[in-house]
Structure 1
């Protein structure tokens, strides 16, 4: 996944390792807006995930990579990961209006009160 640069936040597969600081990447996403063309990128601009496409040949072609990408369901695996869910949660929080942020604050306050009340009751019984 790209961490910096024009393709920030997009998924890509490492097709080949160029040297100890650069890799060749391509992201054959089914969504055209998320597609990443084949390019070299420094490892400092890339964040590695635990998703692996097994037995991916070196310098695999575009069609071969796309077939394996879809057969391994890389995008689905990533969307179900904890990182993607927390990223979506943060994006949702950024879009909240002032009143919606207030409602979230009130709900969190109520939940905290209920937790403290139940903890106090359990300490009182013990």
Structure 2
């Protein structure tokens, strides 16, 4: 009987429910096409594979988009169905959507990737020198600690 209690304790930590549902107000990241990498908000659901999105603050025009070209995020904006673009823009700015997105690990990862991709040859060289300097400094400090511990 103890083994069942252990299993219950094990599985109670994994009871998180799926929470990225397709719903009006859900924020999506466009992954393909001319708007790739931009955020948009689901304004209406067309059918089981398409949604109507709009991104007035990010430059995404109102359009029907397939789920194959967008990824759902954890963010949501409280809006009614088929809201107009000016009202959506006001709701996005009021709820600080871009600031909330920039705080997520996902957005920070994308920013790091693009910053690294935009490095010039000289910038990559400077980065290599900085990493070498850091490596030698850490190595010297570790050697000093090892030497002190050996005494």
Instruction: Report the TM-score range of the alignment, normalised by the length of the smaller protein.
Output: 0.7 to 0.9
TM-score, length-scaled by structure 2: 0.68
Matching residue of 1:13:
41
Residue 119 of structure 1 deviates from its aligned partner by 4.4
Q: Where do 5+ consecutive residues of structure 2 fail to align? A: 1-28
Q: Secondary structure at the match of 1:60?
A: coil
* CA–CA separation in structure 2 for the residues paired with 1:48 and 1:123: 50
* CA–CA separation in structure 2 for the residues paired with 1:111 and 1:28: 44
Is 1:97 paired with 2:88? no
Q: Secondary structure at the match of 1:51?
A: strand
Matching residue of 1:50:
74
Q: Which has the higher strand share?
A: 2
TM-score, length-scaled by structure 1: 0.79
Aligned with 1:38 (options 52, 62, 71): 62
Task: Give per-residue Cα distances to partners, 1:52-76, cap 9 Å, x unaligned.
Answer: 113x212222232122111111122
Residue 116 of structure 1 deviates from its aligned partner by 4.0
Is 1:113 paired with 2:136? yes
**When the two structures are aligned, how many residues end up with a matched partner?**
121
* Inter-CA distance 50–112: structure 2 relative to 1 (3 Å threshold): farther
* CA–CA separation in structure 1 for the residues paired with 2:69 and 2:143: 49
Q: Where do 5+ consecutive residues of structure 1 fail to align? A: none
* Inter-CA distance 18–118: structure 2 relative to 1 (3 Å threshold): farther
Superposition RMSD in Å? 2.2
* CA–CA separation in structure 1 for the residues paired with 2:46 and 2:144: 62
Q: Secondary structure at the match of 2:64?
A: strand
Higher Cα Rg, which structure: 2
* CA–CA separation in structure 1 for the residues paired with 2:48 and 2:142: 53
